[in-house]
């Protein structure tokens, strides 16, 4: 079996959320536990940090992984979905799982896969755990896929649970109110395992507090302790911050190898998580090295972890910016930031999945921009012509294109040197715009 054969088998045989949507979501942990048992329970063979939330969980996961790597810890990182390469999901010290290892996993366990019939995501999670166990990582940072309580990653018992924030997303699966969504996210809180919450919100905080009380888990809210202020001197690809703890300067000139309007909150969450890990001696490294590792890791975030797709500049003159914000809170932050910047004109390449309530997010977009509507090349993609018609109802005018690539080409042709081309709306739209295969 070749690597391409292995991927085609996984894509064709296993229900895949990014392709077919909610039909691929399994609302229990049975398949994951059965696969883990077949493999000798690899999820019990390594320390882990579990990161969930609505927005920012991917960024916080990468930040914590970078800090662990900078501390000299052999670090696994599981994230989802992938942009360009399936292997982005499973990394050790920033190195993708090899093609040969993917093929070997599929060949060795094909019979059990066909017997259990897991979802694509369930299989990916177990492949990651098996890889981390075989690689004997010191710690693995594991990003929740969707929700928390019933997410396949929730079979681990971590050193620390982290929930970045709560916003409206996947309401058809997680609930229509913030307390309902928070209940699902709070499902990663484990008995006796400390938990960090990124943001204090009146709709979600009581849910987290009650769940932590029931579980006997110490809980801390990052925004009640840390405030992060962006300073002049950054650029598209990096930023500099001062960090305050209890209103006193805690970190000065913290340089982060990433930028974007949401990173202030993500840094506060990651720093609070790091502080809990250090103060409680949860990581296996010398304290002196750990204390410097957070700063060193964030300064090399992209290089250490291959962090992509978030506030990523892929062209200049015109500036071409990709960001995979896809829900109300994420898109509002991106659009507020870009509207505050000085551009002659803004061109927006826009696409969504067809189970997204676009009526909730289209009012956020500026009518003065020029739009290039596109459907990502997945079955879940919303047809560009349908999106164009919906957008017109909100005064957003543009053309529909047969592909993201064609939409981006048209936007680049139309944009002048002082313009901005923004690619957003879905991780799958961004994936097709990013350079590479």
Q: Please give the C-alpha separations between residue 199 and each of 55, 58, 415, in angstroms, as whole numbers.
A: 11, 16, 38
Q: Which of 7-16, 74-83, 167-176 has the lowest mean pLDDT?
A: 167-176
Contact (Cβ atoms closer than 8 angstroms) between residue 377 and residue 347:
no
More confident residue, 58 or 11: 58
Strand-pair partners of 346: 420
At residue 20, the pLDDT reads 46
Read off the pLDDT of each residue in 187-215 and give the average, rounded to a whole number. 95
What's the whole-number average pLDDT of the chain? 91
Q: Which residues contact 347 (CB under 8 A, 6 or more apart)?
A: 318, 369, 370, 371, 372, 411, 414, 415, 419, 420, 421, 422
Q: Which of 342-351, 376-385, 405-414 has the lowest mean pLDDT?
A: 376-385
Indicate if the pLDDT at residue 19 is higher than 70: no
Say how many residues make up the chain: 437
pLDDT in tens, 272-313: 999 999 999 999 876 567 779 999 999 999 999 999 999 999
Give the H or E element holding residue 278.
Answer: helix 263-279
Specify the residue for token string 């990581």.
283
Domains of the chain: which residue ranges?
Answer: 3-305, 312-433
At residue 329, the pLDDT reads 85
Q: Which of 73-82, 89-98, 232-241, 416-425 has the lowest mean pLDDT?
A: 232-241
**Confidence grade of residue 174 (pLDDT, cut at 50, 70, 90):** low
Indicate if the pLDDT at residue 176 is higher than 70: no
The CATH class, in words, for 312-433 is: alpha beta
Write the secondary structure of 233-264 as one string of H (helix), E (strand) and C (coil). Answer: CCCCCCEEEEEEECCEEEEEEEEECCCCCCHH
DSSP symbols for 360-427: GTGGGS-TTSEEEEE--SSTTBPPHHHHHHHHHTTT--EEEESSHHHHHHHHHHH--TT-EEEEES-H
At residue 157, the pLDDT reads 97
Q: Please give the C-alpha separations between residue 95 and each of 89, 105, 178, in angstroms, as whole numbers.
A: 11, 17, 37
Specify the residue for token string 């010191």.
138
What superfamily does domain 3-305 belong to in CATH?
Mur-like, catalytic domain (3.40.1190.10)
Specify the residue for token string 């309007």.
261
User: Cα(178)–Cα(202) distance, rounded to whole angstroms?
Assistant: 9
pTM value surpassing 0.85: yes
Indicate if the pLDDT at residue 265 is higher than 60: yes
At residue 173, the pLDDT reads 47
Give the H or E element holding residue 10.
Answer: helix 3-13
pLDDT in tens, 105-147: 999 999 999 999 888 899 999 999 999 999 999 999 999 987 7
At residue 346, the pLDDT reads 97
**Confidence grade of residue 161 (pLDDT, cut at 50, 70, 90):** very high
Q: Please give the C-alpha separations between residue 78 and each of 22, 143, 208, in angstroms, as whole numbers.
A: 21, 6, 24
Contact (Cβ atoms closer than 8 angstroms) between residue 343 and residue 418:
yes
Say how far residue 198 (Cα) sits from the centre of its chain. 15
**Confidence grade of residue 170 (pLDDT, cut at 50, 70, 90):** very low
pLDDT in tens, 30-62: 999 999 999 999 999 999 999 999 889 999 999
Say how far residue 205 (Cα) sits from the centre of its chain. 22
Read off the pLDDT of each residue in 394-423 and give the average, rounded to a whole number. 97
At residue 302, the pLDDT reads 95
**Of all residues in the chain, what percent carry a pLDDT higher than 70?**
94
Indicate if the pLDDT at residue 233 is higher than 90: no
Strand-pair partners of 15: none
Read off the pLDDT of each residue in 220-225 and give the average, rounded to a whole number. 97
């Amino acid at each position: 079996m070749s690597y391409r054969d292995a991927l085609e088998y996984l894509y064709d045989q296993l229900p895949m959320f990014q392709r077919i949507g909610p039909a691929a979501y399994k609302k229990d942990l049975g398949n994951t536990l059965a696969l883990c048992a077949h493999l000798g329970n690899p999820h019990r063979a390594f320390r882990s940090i579990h990161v969930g939330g609505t927005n920012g969980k991917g960024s916080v996961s990468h930040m914590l992984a970078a800090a662990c790597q900078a501390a000299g810890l052999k670090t696994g990182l599981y994230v989802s979905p992938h942009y360009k390469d399936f292997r982005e999901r499973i990394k050790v010290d920033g190195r993708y799982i090899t093609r040969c290892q993917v093929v070997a996993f599929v060949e060795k366990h094909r019979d059990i896969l066909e017997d259990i019939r897991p979802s694509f995501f369930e299989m990916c999670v177990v492949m990651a755990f098996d890889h981390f166990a075989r690689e004997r990582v010191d710690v693995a940072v594991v990003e929740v896929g969707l929700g928390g309580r019933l997410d396949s990653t929730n079979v681990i018992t971590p050193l620390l649970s982290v929930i970045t924030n709560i916003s409206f997303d996947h309401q058809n699966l997680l609930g229509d109110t913030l307390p309902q969504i928070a209940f699902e996210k709070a499902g990663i809180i484990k008995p006796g395992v400390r938990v960090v919450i990124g943001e204090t919100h009146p709709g979600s905080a009581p849910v987290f507090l009650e769940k932590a009380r029931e579980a006997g888990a110490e809980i801390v809210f990052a925004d009640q302790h840390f405030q992060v202020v962006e300073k002049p001197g950054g650029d598209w690809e990096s930023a500099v911050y001062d960090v305050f703890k209890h209103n006193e300067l805690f970190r000065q000139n913290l340089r982060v190898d990433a930028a974007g309007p949401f990173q202030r909150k993500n840094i506060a969450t990651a720093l609070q998580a790091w502080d809990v890990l250090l103060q409680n001696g949860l990581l296996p490294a010398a304290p002196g090295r750990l204390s410097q590792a957070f700063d060193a890791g964030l300064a090399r975030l992209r290089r250490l972890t291959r962090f992509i797709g978030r506030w990523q500049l892929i062209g200049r003159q015109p500036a071409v910016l990709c960001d995979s914000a896809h829900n109300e809170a994420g898109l509002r932050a991106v659009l507020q930031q870009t509207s505050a910047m000085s551009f002659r004109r803004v061109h927006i390449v826009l696409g969504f999945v067809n189970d997204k309530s676009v009526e909730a997010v289209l009012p956020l977009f500026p009518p003065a921009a020029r739009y290039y509507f596109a459907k990502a090349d997945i079955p879940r993609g919303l047809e560009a012509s349908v999106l164009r018609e919906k957008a017109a109802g909100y005064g957003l005018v543009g053309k529909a294109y047969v592909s993201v690539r064609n939409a981006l080409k048209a936007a680049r042709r139309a944009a002048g040197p002082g313009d901005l081309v923004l690619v957003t709306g879905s991780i799958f739209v961004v994936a097709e715009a990013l350079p590479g295969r």
